[in-house]
């Protein structure tokens, strides 16, 4: 079984602590064949530079690229290292998004939504004080908008808000009412030949499912989805590669025969066996 982790954060992300080298060393220890370094770049905040609460992306993303390129040379023959970026909320500021894409030569771009326009990250949301149905409709609508954005490879952690809904309320809502919206997102990904990420971080959280869960990965496949990437979203070296095998099992159960890694935005199919 070939194990690749296509979503990791180094200390060039505001919320992660290990160097790219430490992440790569952990990947080798875990028996991975490939890793993508996908540090955070929140498009709407690039403009604040050094005053940004997440640090200056103008410094951090070039540093992430440099570190990943150095690791690529150092680990050649042992581990394939790919340069990536997790582009947060690209649709909130198209101009800054364009600027983010100029930072350098990326292999792989994840697109993600952590917060709705004008609101904090779902992580901070008091779900008892909001209309959850309204929030989830807005979230899926924004993902549909994001799925039409041309400059990404894989749509990251779909159902992200549910992680926090579960942690605060002990349950998640039935997704049936949202299926038309989710199907529209999948339709757009398929039409634009984009991947859906199976983010395995949720397996180590109280909700104990991948993001998105099995039934949605299966739906993506039934609709004709061709590409899935698998990522741990590791923010620490000890989480690199953890759960990739479980992610592979989800992809297999959905009917996929391969998962995907990206080199210079070109999909390469990795057999699931
Ligand atoms: Zn994310
Ligand atoms: Zn992430």
**pLDDT of residue 32 exceeding 90:** yes
Q: Which ligand is nearest to the CA of 155?
A: 1
Residue for token pair 């409709």: 137
**Domain total for the chain?**
1
Say which CATH number the domain at 38 has: 3.20.20.140
Average pLDDT over residues 215-237: 98
CB atoms within 10 A of CB 120: 11
Residue 156 CA to ligand 1 center (angstroms) comes to: 7
Average pLDDT over residues 207-234: 98
Question: What is the rounded distance in angstroms from the CA atom of residue 95 to the CA atom of residue 117?
Answer: 16
Question: What is the rounded distance in angstroms from the CA atom of residue 16 to the CA atom of residue 10?
Answer: 6
Question: What is the rounded distance in angstroms from the CA atom of residue 263 to the CA atom of residue 266?
Answer: 5
Q: Which ligand is nearest to the CA of 9?
A: 2
**pLDDT of residue 64 exceeding 90:** yes
Which of 13, 86, 87, 12 lies closest to 43, judged by CA?
Answer: 87
Question: Which 3 state secondary structure label does DSSP give 5?
Answer: strand
Rounded to 10°, the helix 179-191/214-222 angle is 50
Residue 260 CA to ligand 1 center (angstroms) comes to: 19
Residue 148 CA to ligand 1 center (angstroms) comes to: 18
Residue 38 CA to ligand 2 center (angstroms) comes to: 7
Question: What is the rounded distance in angstroms from the CA atom of residue 141 to the CA atom of residue 232?
Answer: 25
Tokens standing for residue 128: 């008892």
Question: Which 3 state secondary structure label does DSSP give 35?
Answer: strand
Residue 272 CA to ligand 2 center (angstroms) comes to: 23
Confidence at residue 128, expressed as pLDDT on a 0 to 100 scale: 86
CB atoms within 10 A of CB 177: 11
**pLDDT of residue 232 exceeding 90:** yes
35 class by beta-carbon count within 10 Å (0-12 exposed, 13-18 middle, 19+ buried): buried
Prediction pTM value: 0.97
CA separation (Å) from 26 to 18, 40, 216, 238? 10, 20, 30, 7
Residue 235 CA to ligand 2 center (angstroms) comes to: 8
Average pLDDT over residues 192-206: 97
Which of 11, 9, 77 lies closest to 239, judged by CA?
Answer: 9
184 class by beta-carbon count within 10 Å (0-12 exposed, 13-18 middle, 19+ buried): middle
**Domain span at residue 178?**
4-271
Q: Which ligand is nearest to the CA of 111?
A: 1
Q: Which ligand is nearest to the CA of 233?
A: 2
Residue 15 CA to ligand 1 center (angstroms) comes to: 11
Residue 223 CA to ligand 1 center (angstroms) comes to: 25
Residue 199 CA to ligand 1 center (angstroms) comes to: 9
Residue 79 CA to ligand 1 center (angstroms) comes to: 24
Could you list which residues have their CB under 5 Å from ion ligand 2? Answer: 86, 233
Confidence at residue 72, expressed as pLDDT on a 0 to 100 scale: 98
Q: Which ligand is nearest to the CA of 122?
A: 1
Residue 87 CA to ligand 1 center (angstroms) comes to: 8
Q: Which ligand is nearest to the CA of 8?
A: 2
Q: Look at 38-42, 63-67, 125-129, 227-231 and tell me which has the smallest mean pLDDT.
A: 125-129
Tokens standing for residue 16: 């992660």
Radius of gyration in angstroms for the set of CA atoms belonging to the chain, rounded to a whole number:
17
Confidence of residue 273 (pLDDT cuts 50, 70, 90): confident
C-beta separation of 52 from 61 below 8 A? no
Residue 86 CA to ligand 1 center (angstroms) comes to: 7
In this predicted model, what pLDDT tens digit does every residue of 8-21 receive, in sequence order?
Answer: 999 999 999 999 99
In this predicted model, what pLDDT tens digit does every residue of 122-136 receive, in sequence order?
Answer: 999 998 889 999 999
Question: Which 3 state secondary structure label does DSSP give 95?
Answer: helix
Residue for token pair 């929030």: 135
Q: Residues in the chain, how many?
A: 273
Residue 166 CA to ligand 1 center (angstroms) comes to: 17
Which of 1, 100, 129, 81 lies closest to 41, judged by CA?
Answer: 100
């Amino acid at each position: 079984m070939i194990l690749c982790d296509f979503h990791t954060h180094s200390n060039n992300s505001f919320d992660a602590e290990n160097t790219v080298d430490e992440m790569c060393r952990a990947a080798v220890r875990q028996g991975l064949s490939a890793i993508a370094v996908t540090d955070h770049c929140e498009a709407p905040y690039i403009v604040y530079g050094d005053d940004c609460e997440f640090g200056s992306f103008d410094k951090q993303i070039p540093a992430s690229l440099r570190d990943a390129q150095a690791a690529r040379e150092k680990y050649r023959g042992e581990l394939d290292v790919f340069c990536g970026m997790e582009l947060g909320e690209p649709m909130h500021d198209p101009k800054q998004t364009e600027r983010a894409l100029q930072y350098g030569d990326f292999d792989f771009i994840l697109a993600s939504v952590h917060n709705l326009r004008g609101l904090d990250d779902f992580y901070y949301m008091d779900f008892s004080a909001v209309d959850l149905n309204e929030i989830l409709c807005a979230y899926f609508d924004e993902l549909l908008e994001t799925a039409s954005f041309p400059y990404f490879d894989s749509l990251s952690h779909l159902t992200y808000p549910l992680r926090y809904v579960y942690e605060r309320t002990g349950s998640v809502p039935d997704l049936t009412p949202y299926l038309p919206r989710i199907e529209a997102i999948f339709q757009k990904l398929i039409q634009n030949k984009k991947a859906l990420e199976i983010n395995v971080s949720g397996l180590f959280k109280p909700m104990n499912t991948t993001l998105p869960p099995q039934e949605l990965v299966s739906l993506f496949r039934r609709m004709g989805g061709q590409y899935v990437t698998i990522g741990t979203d590791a923010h620490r070296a000890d989480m690199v590669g953890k759960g990739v095998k479980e992610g592979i099992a989800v992809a297999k159960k959905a009917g996929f025969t391969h998962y995907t890694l990206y080199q210079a935005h070109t999909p390469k199919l990795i057999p699931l066996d």
